[in-house]
Amino acid sequence: MTNTLERSNASGKVLAVAWREFKHTALTKAFIIGTLVFPVFIWGLMAVSQLFISREPPPLTGTIAILDPGGLVAAEATRQFEELKNRAAPSVSSTVEAVSKATQGDAAAVAKLAEGLTEDTGRVAITVIHETDPTKADELRTKVGSNELLAFASIDPKLLTIDPGDVKLELLVQTTTSPKHTSLYSRILREATVKSRVASVGEDYAKLMTMLKSPEFNTQRVTRDGGTAKERADARMLVPIAFMMLVWIATFSSGNYLLTTTIEEKSNKVMEVLLSAVSPMQLLAGKILGQALVSAVIIVIYGALAFWGLLFLSMADLIQPILIVYLVVFFVMAYFMIATIMVAVGSAVSDLREAQALVGPAMVVLIIPLALLVPIVDSPNGMLATITSFIPPAIPFIMILRLGGTEPIALWQVLLSIVIGFGSTFAMLWAATRIFRVGVLMQGKPPTMLELLKWVRYQ
Amino acid sequence: MFPNMIRPAPERDAAISLRGVEKRFGTTRAVAGLDLVVPRGSLCGFLGPNGAGKSTTIRMIMSIIYPDSGTVSVLDGTALANKDRIGYLPEERGLYRTMKVSEFLIYIGRLKGLTAASAHRSASEWLERIELKGISKKKCQELSKGMQQKVQFIASVIHDPELLILDEPFSGLDPVNAQLLTSIIKDLNRSGKTIIFSTHQMHTAEAMCDRVVLINHGIKLLDANLADVRAQFDPHSLILEPVDESFDIREITARVPSITSVEFDDENRLARLLRVDPALDPQSVMSDVVRAIPTRSIAIKRPTLTDIFIQLVEATGGAAPSLSEIGDGAAAGSTAHREGGSR
C-alpha cells in the first residue's frame, strides 16, 4: 500500500516541529489580531481621540466673585479672560466681551458695574466686591459651598506691593469644580496680580516680560560625517526604553506561546505520540526554533513600525547601526533565556495555573529591568546599572537599556555581559533539556522547585 | 502441576529482545526481571490485567522511559535509533484538537521521516482504507471518539513501519470498528510486519495472535506460541448439552466413572462442563457419555487464555485477577463455576 514512501533526513523532523510551532502560533487569527491589528487599532484610536478631545475647559455657567478692594486685579483678570475669548468656551468669551465693552477695560468702571450686585453678563458673571467686611467674605464662602458661586477669590492688597511676604491669594472653588477650571482661575488671577503689581510701581509689564524672556536654544548634534541634526533630548531618552520594551515584548510573547503549546501537548496526551517519532531533544529544538521565528516576526514588525515612525519624524539618525547589532545579540540571548524557562516549566506542569507558581521566581529577576528602568536610563554607568548587567536572566534587558542611551558603555562590560549571558543561556538550555525529557511524560501533581533540580540530575 | 510455559522465541531472529528488565516507580515494582523475545514477523499478544506492567514495558521498548536495569533491543538497536521503522500507538492517545485530520497525519508522517508528499499520499490512502474518507479537512476535535481512535491508529502506521507496537488498540472501539482494526492488523502481519499489541481482553488476543506473553505484577507468567499453550493447557473437559434439560446431570458421574466432576458452563447455560480423568483420552470418554445419556451435543473443550491466566496466577501464589480486570468479553466467554461434586 505505501511501500514506495520517500524518506527525509533527520533534520527534517526538527524543521517539521519548528514549522508546526510557527504556523500554529503566528499564522492564526489570534496572533494576527493580537500582534498586528490590535496595536494598529490602539494607535488609530489614540490618534482619532486626539481629534475629539478638547484641551480647553468645558463651558462655565455661573458667577465668579472677586474680593478686590483696589479693583486692579479684578480688572486685570477680566482682561485675561478677554484674551481667552478666541479659545475659551463661547459662554466665557461672551461674558468677557460684555464686561470689557461695558467697562472699556477700566478697572474702576468694572468695579462700579459690579459693585454690590451680581452682574449677569451672560452665562458667566464676574462680581467684584470692594468691601473688606469679613462677614461679606464669609457670606461669599457660603455661596461657593452651596454652589451659588462658581468661585470666590480674595485679593489681599499686600499682594500688590513689592514685597508681599507670605501672603497668599485665596481662591475658593466648588467641590465639583474641574481641575481645568481651577487651573484656569489660578492662572488668570496670578497673572492679573503680577501685572497689577508691576503697574502699581509704574513699570510696563509687557516690556518687563520681554526683557525677562529666556533665549531659545537651537541645539544641534554634529554627526561623524560633519553634518548636523536637531537635538531631541526627550526622544533620546525614549530610545533605550523602546529598545528594551521591543525585546521584552518579543521574547515574552513567544515565551508564553512556548509555555502554552507545551502544556497543550501534555494535556492533549499527544506528547507520547510525538516522542515515539522524535527524541525529546529534537522536539525541544523544534519548538524553540519555531517560537524563535515567532519572536523574530514580532520584533521585526514592531521594530519596523518604530523605525518608520522615527523616519516620519526625521529622527532616524537617533538609531546608530551598532545599536542594531547589539539589539540582535541581546535579543537572541533574551529569547533563549526566556524560552528555556518557559519550555522547562511547560513540560513540568499540566495547566497554566501550575505554571505561574514555577515561573514566579524567574519573574522576580526579570522584573528588575522594568522596576529599575528610570534610574538605569538616567544613569547607565551607575553602580546599579553596572551590577544588574551581570545578573542573568536580566542581562540582555539591562544591557539594551544601557547601550541604547547616550553615555558610552565600557567595552569590557559589554563583552563580559555577553560572555556571562550566553554562558548562563547554555546552562539554562542544558537544564531545560533535562527537565523537559522527564517533565513531558509526568502527569499529576506539579513538581516543586527542588524536584525540578532533581530532574536536572537524573541520568 | 502446571506445565512450564516460559518458552521464549530464539534470540537470533528477534524484532524485540528484553533481558532482565526491571523498572520501579518509587516503592512499586512495575516490571520485574522481564525477559522477552518477539520474533520477526510474529503477531504477539502482550497480555495481563490492568496494572500488570504492560504499558510500562512497552514504553521501555519505545525508549520513552528507561529500565532501572536490564537491556532492551529493538530491531537490533534501540527504539530511539530506529524510530522511523517502528509504529507506536500509545495507551494514552492524543491529537492536536484544532489541527485538521490530514494536517495532523502529514505532520506525524513528517516526524516519522517521510517527505511531505509521501506523508500526504499515505494519509489519503489510509483514510480511505480505514473508512474515514471525507473527514480529512475536519478538525480533530470535531471527530467522534471512535473516529479519533482510528486517526490515531493511522498515525502509527502512516510511515509503513516494519514493527508495530499497539498499546490497547481496541479499547473504546465499537464491535464494527474493532473488527475492521482486527482485519487490518492481521493483513499487516500477513504482509510481513512484526506486531505486538497489549490488551487485557484475552479473547481478542486469542482470536488474533500466534504468540502470547502474559504478565502480572510485572512478572512474566507465560511466553509461548498459542498452539503450544493450548496443547499444554488442555482442560481435559467435555461440554455436554443433554436432550432433556431437566436431566440431573450430576448422575453422570455415577454412570461414567471417567468423569471426575460436573460444572455449569458459562458459555451456554444449558450445557455442562464435564471434567475428565487426565489420564484418559477425552475422545474415548465422549462415546461413554453419549451412550450413558441422551445427548443434544457434546464437544471437547478448548482451553481459553482466561482460564489459563487464572490458573497460572493461582498456581504461582498470586491472587487471581477479577473478571473485570481480565475483560468482560473474556469473562463472559470462558469462566465456569462449580456445581457438581467431585469423586
Same domain membership, residue B265 and residue B322 = yes
Q: What share of chain A is helix, strand, coil (3-state, %, to 5)?
A: 65, 5, 30
Domain shared by B298 and B193, yes or no: no
A202: Cβ contacts below 8 Å, ≥ 6 apart: none
pLDDT band at B329 (very low <50, low <70, confident <90, very high): very low
Is position B2 within any domain? no
| Structural Rg of chain A based on CA atoms | 34
Question: Do B192 and B247 fall into the same domain?
Answer: no
Give CA–CA dist B65/A332, Å, rounded.
33
Residue given cell 466432576 in the structure block: B261
Cα dist from B155 to B103, B119, B197, whole Å? 11, 10, 16
The confidence score (pLDDT) of residue A324 equals 92
Determine, yes or no, domain membership for B187.
yes
Interface test with chain A among B69, B110, B125, by most A beta carbons within 10 Å: B110
Q: Are residues B223 and B238 in the same domain?
A: no
Question: B2: pLDDT confidence band, cut at 50, 70 and 90?
Answer: low
Backbone angles phi, psi at A432, to 5 degrees: -65, -40
- B160 contacts A3? CB cut-off 8 A: yes
Sequence-distant (≥ 6) Cβ neighbours of residue B255 within 8 angstroms: B292, B293
- Judge: B160–A1 Cβ closer than 8 Å, yes or no: yes
* B4: confidence class by pLDDT, cuts 50, 70, 90: low
Q: If you search the block for the grid coordinates 548562563, which residue do you land on?
A: A424
A-to-B residue pairs, Cβ atoms closer than 8 angstroms: 95
Q: Please report the residues numbered 273 through 292 in chain A whose beta carbons come closer than 8 angstroms to any beta carbon of chain B.
A: 273-279
CATH number at residue B67: 3.40.50.300
Task: List C-alpha distances in Å: A17 to A291, A308, A442, B140, B307.
Answer: 10, 34, 21, 18, 47
Q: How much is the pLDDT for A105?
A: 46
Q: Nearest CA to CA, how far is A18 from chain B (Å)? A: 11
Are residues B306 and B216 part of one domain? no
Shortest distance between the Cα of B111 and any Cα of chain A, in A, equals 5
* B79/chain A closest Cα distance in angstroms: 8
Beta-strand pair B272-276/B259-265: antiparallel
Q: What residues of A are in contact with residue B95 (Cβ under 8 Å)?
A: 268, 270
In a domain, B41, yes or no: yes
**Cβ contact (<8 Å) for A272 and B97?**
no
Does residue B143 lie within any of the structural domains? Answer: yes
Both B204 and B248 in one domain: the answer is no
CA dist., res. B75 & res. B231, Å (int): 31
Question: Count of domains in chain B?
Answer: 2
For residue A379, with 0-12 CB atoms within 10 Å meaning exposed, 13-18 middle and 19 or more buried, which class applies? middle
Q: Where among B199, B214, B230 does a domain terminate? A: B230
Compute CA distances B270 → A37, B264, B282, whole Å: 75, 8, 21
pLDDT in tens, B93-150: 789 988 999 999 999 999 999 999 999 999 999 999 998 988 999 999 999 988 999 9
Handedness of CA B91, B97, B101, B106 (dihedral sign): negative
pLDDT at B338 > cutoff 80: no
- Of B212, B230, B248, the position where a domain reaches its end is B230
Cβ atoms of residues A455 and A446 within 8 Å: no
Question: A402 with A330: CB under 8 angstroms?
Answer: no
Whether residues B63 and B90 fall in one domain:
yes
User: Between residues 221 and 260 of chain A, which touch chain B (CB distance below 8 Å)?
Assistant: none
Structural domain includes residue B5: no
Question: What DSSP element (H or E) covers A227?
Answer: none
Joined together, the cell numbers standing for residue B140 give: 480533530
Are B128 and B21 part of one and the same domain? yes
**Which of A358, A356, A386, A361 lies closest to A372 in space, CA to CA?**
A386
Q: Which residue has the higher pLDDT, B265 or A90?
A: B265
B200-250 pLDDT, tens digit per residue, is: 777 888 888 989 998 888 888 888 888 888 777 777 788 888 887 777 777
User: What distance in Å separates the CA atoms of residue B292 and residue B17, rounded to the nearest whole number?
Assistant: 53
B23 has a pLDDT exceeding 90:
yes
- Contact between B46 and B198 under an 8 Å Cβ cutoff? The reply is yes
- Structural domain including B334 reads 234-342
Q: How far apart are CA A67 and CA A84, in angstroms?
A: 22
Angle of helix A205-212 versus helix A179-200 axis, rounded to 10: 110
Q: What count of Cα atoms within 13 Å lies in the side-chain half-sphere of residue A285?
A: 12
Residues 6+ apart with CB under 8 A from B190: none
Among B230, B261, B278, which residue terminates a domain?
B230
Longest dimension (CA), chain B: 74
Do B48 and B189 reside in the same domain of the chain? Answer: yes
In a domain? residue B244: yes
The residues near A57 (Cβ < 8 Å, ≥ 6 apart) are: A88, A89, A178, A180, A181, A183, A184
- Establish if B6 belongs to a structural domain: no
C-alpha cell at B332: 463472559
Instruction: Answer for the pair A282, A274: CB distance below 8 angstroms, yes or no.
Output: no
Q: What is the mean pLDDT of each run of 10 residues along chain A (459 residues)?
A: 67 91 91 81 77 66 84 81 54 46 47 40 67 80 90 89 87 88 88 88 88 84 71 77 91 92 89 89 93 94 86 79 93 95 91 85 80 88 92 92 88 96 94 89 82 82
Same domain, yes or no: B84 and B226:
yes
My answer on whether B131 and B27 are in the same domain is yes
Q: Is residue B191 part of a domain?
A: yes
Q: What is the pLDDT of residue A58?
A: 65
Percent of chain B with pLDDT over 70: 86
DSSP single-letter state for residue B18: E
B107 and B210 in one domain?
yes
CA distance B198 to chain A (A): 16
B175 closest CA partner among B201, B151, B156: B201
Asked which of A314-323, A402-411, B161-170, B189-198 is least confident by mean pLDDT, the reply is: A314-323
